[in-house]
Chain A
Amino acid sequence: MSTLTIENVCSDYDGQVVLRHLDLTLAQGEIVALLGPSGCGKTTLLRAIAGLQAISQGSISINGQTLSGDGVFVASEQRGVGMIFQDYALFPHLTVADNILFGVNELNRTVRLARLEEMLELVKLTGLASRYPHELSGGQQQRVSIARALAYQPELLLLDEPFSNIDAQVRNDMMLEIRAILKQRNVSAVFVTHSKDEAFVFADKLALFKDGAIIQHGKAETLYSAPADRYVADFLGAGNYLPVTVTSSHQVHYSLGDLSSTEALSLPIGSQGQLLLRPQQIELHPSINGRGCIVERHFLGTVCHYQVQIGADILNVSSQLTTLMAGQRVDINITAHPLVIFN
């Protein structure tokens, strides 16, 4: 069953269209990342789901109940969505305990304390209940805000750039930890980020935004290996583009010869297009008579990044082979994969 359903949602603000005909569904326990550059409308959609932003068309519903649209508007405070903010939005005048219990309506003291203890344990902050937010580190504050949102037992959790204020060294661990918490409690979540790396680590699915519209949405692997267009391809990772001509349902021709696809191509035979090659899909073999020449080399630890000149083209290649040097001649080989061609 889908927790969240977004149908044909449009929104405008000051006469400017910020969301264009968005469709998105989210299954129970699933985490979707709204990914895109700043100003693309992803935060607007998040706020629209929370009831903090009006929509001009379409509908938003949670568990089958319409919250926005069709003449219905459920106030934010009645939606039962939890929200995590970039600045954590902890109430500075309340202790950790009071922050966590802020949204809990249960009056029974024992139940409240039990909820508090459960949450503190969940986010590993046991013993810090009487601290104030300013006495905590950034990561601890983030955990309190997660605990506060979960203590409210929301139908859906919304996260607005929650990791952008966390130090780069601990960000990855933090993401994995919070993801584990959400998975453990089977919470559905919508997560806004501009970083593809965060989206890959944290989310099950991605929805890639551009100018207020969702360009493509699905599993991260799908978007990465079968991007709908060049924008998606470029946003999710570096790539080389080579002009090719489709010669059969599984084959193309390009400047270095013929290439086979492991899956049928969508473009008709005879059509021309740009072939996407990710830097790690190109293998390098040192060879004195190689057709390519290494013009630049950057050592990045586990891999080496090379620029290889072949004829007039420069290819970016990422290789485990770190011993090649600038000026060395190489042969190249494309690993077998379903080819992606844009026209």
Chain B
Amino acid sequence: MILGLTRSWSLAGYFITAILILPLIALIVQSTLPDQAVFSHLFNTVLPTYIANSLLLMLLVGLGTLVLAIPAAWLIARCDFPFRRYFQWLLLLPLAMPAYIVAYVYTDMLDYAGPVQRVLRAWFGWQSPLDYYFPAIRSLGGAAIILSLVLFPYIYLLARTAFMEQSSSLLYASRVMGCSPWRSFWRLAMPMARPALAVGVALVAMETAADFATVSYFAVPTLTTAVYDTWLGYGSLTAAAKLSAIMLLVVFSMIGVERFARRKQQLFQKQSSLNEADRYVLSSKMAWVALGYCALLLFIAFLLPFMVLCAYAIDYFNESWDVRFWQYSLNSLYIAAIVSGVCVVLSLILMFVRRVSPRKSDQIPARLSSTGYALPGTVLAIGVLVPLTFIDFAINDIYDWFGARGPGLLLTGSVFALIFAFCVRFIAISIGSLENSYKRISPSLDMACITLGRTPTQLLWRVHLPLLRKGIFAGALLVFIESMKELPAALLLRPIGFENLATYVFQFVSDEKLEHGALAAIVIVLVGLVPLIYLNRSLEQQG
């Protein structure tokens, strides 16, 4: 705490925050405006179905991820079987897979013209779709399965940690009181893991609600696709803002659930980790079952789609390896580089003010600036468009007033809107990373530096920056990667004619020829693996 900290630091914090929460505020304001009957038309026709679809999808994905993740988490946390140590981190890999890519691969494989149905038809002599029943993958159920496959690692991770942090003595107690492993699982481990599971389901539900690409590809209309279509189809910002407000309601109630569950989680989980010796030793048959389950999950959710991508890339190498691939990769790289640079600088200012300011109110900006992370990409895009369109028009009006020709859409027509949206969404990541690093710097270092006659700015440069290096790097890297992967916001905000890797790949997915964009898809998957390596390493350091 620096008592003499000048107000300009605090003002800088408030200024940054004001800009970063502008989209959220604008969205809420815009959603209260009356619109040109678009919303009431939607409301009277398709909106109830969209809302029902969104909620049903969240419910199904929540259930699906629980069913997939809990056995894996329990086996890896509490049992011993061959290759357990590898599966511990291998099961995180599906997180790197964009759902729409997995969706594409499985559609390609399972629909009428795909190899699976072809083989079935050849075997059984069926001639047409009328001869047999095969579940349609392009459906709400199909979307739920695909999303469950890529999102289950959230719950796996939280549940595994929960199971591992349950105290060994509780396990002993239930054993000596005659509980079989099964009984202690149902009576002890599961109830204690409930808060962690609730946190996981809330996160999964938020991701599901925010998903645009998968449901769009499967033509399942949800709130997210409705926001997208309302803006691009009807051109009504107000109606899109109203739909976004409904989304926000859903997302913020999920955040509420998550916060509540996290508080409970602290009651049930101690920071002690399980003794290696306390794992159940499985019989060789059961060990094979356990190994088989984990291997199958990994295969279906990650290995198979990834191998198919690689096969596409090899078969269609010449189509993939063209100037567009390089051009769009470069676009992705430079946007991501700018975003991560901006995010790091802004979050450094915010966190510095938060750390050293003597004013209580200065704790707020860093917290408030992180809320952008909760906004689904499509909603965020609308939130960014509202104020930027207003500013663009205002600028042109001013030119007109002076009789000059306006510069056109300065902000919404350039990559500025895209960069701004990415900063709003991903600054939470760099803030979190810096927050963690700051926790490891003893407050007495600040006091020592200040009492040795150094100014707050010198404290930041000469002490904090060198000591935060790792956190800054990690934050920048994670923001960079997320910016490369983010799709829906990019789809809505990119200037005409501009593509980056994500929009380029999605274009191929929509056009049913991902084969031609396989290289780009592989790059996105590989880039997505980097944060998982980070995550795994930080988990191992804790353990």
Q: Which residues of A contact B (CB under 8 A)?
A: 47, 50-54, 73, 75-83, 85-87, 89-93, 102-103, 105, 145, 148-149, 152, 158
List B2-37 residues whose CB lies under 8 Å from chain A. 2-4
Given the known A-B contacts A76-B4, A77-B455, are A52 and B450 also in contact in the complex, defined by CB atoms under 8 Å? yes
B292 within 8 A of A: no
Given the known A-B contacts A52-B3, A75-B3, are A89 and B453 also in contact in the complex, defined by CB atoms under 8 Å? no
Taking CB as reference atom, which chain B residue is nearest A85? B444
List B438-496 residues whose CB lies under 8 Å from chain A. 442, 444-445, 447-455, 462-463, 466-467
- Report A-chain residues with C-beta under 8 Å of the C-beta of B3: 51-54, 73, 75-76
User: How far is A87 from B448 in the complex, measured between Cα atoms in Å?
Assistant: 11
- Report A-chain residues with C-beta under 8 Å of the C-beta of B444: 85-87, 89
Q: Are B463 and A79 in contact (CB under 8 A)?
A: no
Q: Are A52 and B454 in contact (CB under 8 A)?
A: no
Q: Are A52 and B1 in contact (CB under 8 A)?
A: yes
Q: Are B453 and A105 in contact (CB under 8 A)?
A: yes
A to B CB contacts below 8 Å, 5 in the list? A75-B3, A77-B454, A91-B449, A93-B467, A102-B452
Q: Which residues of B contact A (CB under 8 A)?
A: 1-4, 358, 442, 444-445, 447-455, 462-463, 466-467
User: How far is A86 from B3 in the complex, measured between Cα atoms in Å?
Assistant: 21
Taking CB as reference atom, which chain A residue is nearest B451? A83
Q: Are A102 and B450 in contact (CB under 8 A)?
A: no
User: How far is A145 from B445 in the complex, measured between Cα atoms in Å?
Assistant: 11
Given the known A-B contacts A76-B4, A77-B455, A78-B453, are A83 and B467 also in contact in the complex, defined by CB atoms under 8 Å? no
- Report B-chain residues with C-beta under 8 Å of the C-beta of A93: 466-467
Taking CB as reference atom, which chain A residue is nearest B458? A77
Taking CB as reference atom, which chain A residue is nearest B452? A103
In the assembled complex, how far is the CB of residue A112 from the closest CB belonging to chain B, in whole angstroms? 15
User: How far is A65 from B467 in the complex, measured between Cα atoms in Å?
Assistant: 36
Q: Are A103 and B453 in contact (CB under 8 A)?
A: yes
User: How far is A89 from B463 in the complex, measured between Cα atoms in Å?
Assistant: 11
- Report A-chain residues with C-beta under 8 Å of the C-beta of B462: 102
Q: Are B449 and A102 in contact (CB under 8 A)?
A: yes
Taking CB as reference atom, which chain A residue is nearest B6? A75
Given the known A-B contacts A77-B453, A78-B453, A93-B466, are A83 and B2 also in contact in the complex, defined by CB atoms under 8 Å? no
User: How far is A1 from B462 in the complex, measured between Cα atoms in Å?
Assistant: 37
Q: Are B4 and A51 in contact (CB under 8 A)?
A: yes
Looking at chain A's contact residues, the main secondary structure is loop
User: How far is A148 from B467 in the complex, measured between Cα atoms in Å?
Assistant: 19
- Report B-chain residues with C-beta under 8 Å of the C-beta of A77: 4, 450-455
- Report B-chain residues with C-beta under 8 Å of the C-beta of A83: 447-448, 451
In the assembled complex, how far is the CB of residue B10 from the closest CB belonging to chain A, in whole angstroms? 16
User: How far is A85 from B447 in the complex, measured between Cα atoms in Å?
Assistant: 9
Q: Are B454 and A50 in contact (CB under 8 A)?
A: no
User: How far is A87 from B463 in the complex, measured between Cα atoms in Å?
Assistant: 16
Given the known A-B contacts A83-B448, A85-B447, A92-B467, are A103 and B454 also in contact in the complex, defined by CB atoms under 8 Å? yes
- Report B-chain residues with C-beta under 8 Å of the C-beta of A158: 451
Taking CB as reference atom, which chain A residue is nearest B463? A91
B358, B447, B455, B467: which contacts A54 (Cβ < 8 A)?
A: B358
Taking CB as reference atom, which chain A residue is nearest B440? A92
Taking CB as reference atom, which chain A residue is nearest B441? A92
- Report A-chain residues with C-beta under 8 Å of the C-beta of B453: 77-78, 80, 103, 105, 152
User: How far is A77 from B264 in the complex, measured between Cα atoms in Å?
Assistant: 44
- Report A-chain residues with C-beta under 8 Å of the C-beta of B466: 93
In the assembled complex, how far is the CB of residue B135 from the closest CB belonging to chain A, in whole angstroms? 60
User: How far is A79 from B452 in the complex, measured between Cα atoms in Å?
Assistant: 9
In the assembled complex, how far is the CB of residue B464 from the closest CB belonging to chain A, in whole angstroms? 10
Q: Are B451 and A50 in contact (CB under 8 A)?
A: yes
In the assembled complex, how far is the CB of residue A133 from the closest CB belonging to chain B, in whole angstroms? 11
Q: Identify the 10 closest CB pairs spanning chains A and B, nearest first.
A: A75-B4, A103-B452, A89-B444, A89-B448, A85-B444, A93-B466, A83-B451, A76-B450, A77-B453, A89-B445
